[in-house]
Amino acid sequence: MQKISYIFFMIIFGIQAAYSNNDSTLVLSFETYMDIVKTHHPVSKQAELHLSRGDAGLQSSRGGFDPKLITDIGQKYYEGTQYYSLVNAGLKIPTWMGIEIQAGYEQNQGFYLNPENTTPTDGLMYAGISIPVGQGLFIDKRRAELQKAKNFQEISALEQQIMLNDLLYESGKAYWEWFIAHSKLLVFEEAYELAEDRYLAVKRGAALGDLPSIDTLEAGIQLQNRALSLQQARLDFENTSEMLSLYLWVDGIVPLETSEETIPVSKDSITDYSLEGGLLSELDTFIANHPELQQYQFKVDQMEIDKRLKKEQLKPVINLKYNALSRPVNGNPFASYNTNNYTWGLEFSFPILLRKERGDVKLADLKIQDAEFELATKQAGIETKTNMALNLWTTTIDQINLYNQTVRDYYGLLDGERKMFNAGESSLFMVNSREIGYIQAQLKLIELIAKNRKAKLTANFTLGLLAQ
């Protein structure tokens, strides 16, 4: 599938981004990038399917309470004689309380009709209920499945959040690796230009006899080293750009690629490294509402429903059935209604030893205990990972503040050494040494800034907040 450029994508969707001083350069901010990933990545589209699965499952379980039309027709003819004709049609309505309401019409006739099936010529109307007074009174398989389906709907919504949380975490790390590579590329581009200018100046000075010829060799070696570093920096930037493109899509169908004109934010534009106040104050709440913990709690709740259903099977099956009977007269089904006309029945069954039922209850209880232990372990793991991320976040804030001054100090040494060299009071070796120190300090600062941003990303990831 052919990729399209990110700039073309920005034009299509009208997404705003900042431009650098060079109008051809487009700065892709972290927030804009994450919004694109969240909205258009195939995994994001896939995550939405979980919501549909939950809705479909709930709809399916509710079908257990759908009214049902029933028809039972049986006839027998032999040698011109109608042995029997049995017709029974009606409607059954299950209810949440386990009571089943039914109504129908029965008309039976025939030469050899069983006397118990005898009905008036116009047929017989019936209406009544079936009540479970033992097993199934408080919960049955139908109600259990509906409750579990409601839980599954919640689980599906949480699965969507978890998938998005994982996606945004991986894509976020890719962005900051891209940021590191681009920031380092800028440093090495500047370093190469300085080395090239110095080499040309030293070469001219040596030709005029103002500088020893060996300085030309040293400046040339330094230029070669800078060229190698610049090539590696360009390669790293190209590779991280390719990795970034893995997360850029249009509607989950068309992959994007970052153009050469697309760059991340600059390190100088990042000014706020501090912890988010609301994050610390609501930390316990965020952990308690973590989607993975909530998801697992819903699964435990489903196990509790299964346990209730298993315990219900320890009770005897006692079903009471009652139907009022009436013969229709001139189309009126209630014309002959009398309270003395009815049918009733009692269904009873009960296993004597209950070994299977008691074993099922024990197994269900053990599953719940195991799940609760795992839930506690998951919560402890989330708390630990969150604290580690927050500690790293806090530490990098102090390190960045410290190293900003270090970079300024290194530049001060370099600037002073350059002035002394121009005045003939220093050597090319010392200038190169100061310059290398300044470059390394800049690279270290870039790593610390990215480390800080990744720590923030990790903290929000461990708390399950990226998808919100």
Is the model's pLDDT at 90 over the cut of 70?
yes
Q: Clarify whether residues 170 and 105 are in a common domain.
A: no
In terms of C-beta density within 10 A (0-12 exposed, 13-18 middle, 19 or more buried), how is residue 394 classed?
middle
Q: Are residues 301 and 446 in the same domain?
A: yes
Between 294 and 328, name the one with better pLDDT: 294
User: What single-letter DSSP state applies at residue 394?
Assistant: H
293, 378 in Cβ contact below 8 A? yes
Domain limit, last residue, from 325, 351, 377: 351
Q: Are residues 202 and 88 in the same domain?
A: no
Average pLDDT over residues 48-77: 89
> Looking at the domain assignment, is residue 150 inside a domain?
yes
Instruction: Band the pLDDT of 11: cuts 50, 70, 90.
Output: very low
Domain count, the chain: 2
Indicate the pLDDT class of residue 252, thresholds 50, 70 and 90.
low
Query: Within 10 Å of residue 164's Cβ, how many Cβ atoms?
Result: 23
Q: Mean pLDDT over all residues of the chain?
A: 87
Q: Is residue 256 part of a domain?
A: no
**Average pLDDT of span 287-310:** 92
CA distance 381 to 383: 5
The domain that holds 408 is classified in CATH as: 1.20.1600.10
Residue 458, sorted as left (phi over 0), alpha (psi -120 to 50) or beta, turns out to be alpha
Range of the domain at 222: 139-246+270-314+354-468
Domain shared by 84 and 156, yes or no: no
Global pTM reads 0.83
* Tens of pLDDT, residues 404-462: 999 999 999 999 988 898 888 888 889 888 999 999 999 999 999 999 999 999 999 99
Q: Does residue 320 sit in helix, strand or coil?
A: strand
**345 in the same domain as 325:** yes
Residues 215 and 335 in one domain: no
Residues 210 and 339 in one domain: no
Lowest mean pLDDT among 48-52, 122-126, 144-148, 276-280: 276-280
Asked if residue 131 belongs to a domain, the reply is: yes
Q: Assess whether 240 and 381 both reside in one domain.
A: yes
Same domain, 428 and 344: no
The answer to whether residue 384 is domain-embedded is yes
- 22 in a domain, yes or no? no
Of 162-171, 281-290, 329-338, give the lowest mean pLDDT range: 329-338
180: nearest Cα among 454, 429, 468: 454
**Tokens of residue 236, six digits:** 């790293």
Residue 10: pLDDT band (50, 70, 90) is low
In a domain, 38, yes or no: no
Looking at the structure, do residues 339 and 462 belong to the same domain, yes or no? no
Confidence of residue 260 (pLDDT cuts 50, 70, 90): confident
Q: Are residues 280 and 412 in the same domain?
A: yes
Do 114 and 184 belong together in one domain? no
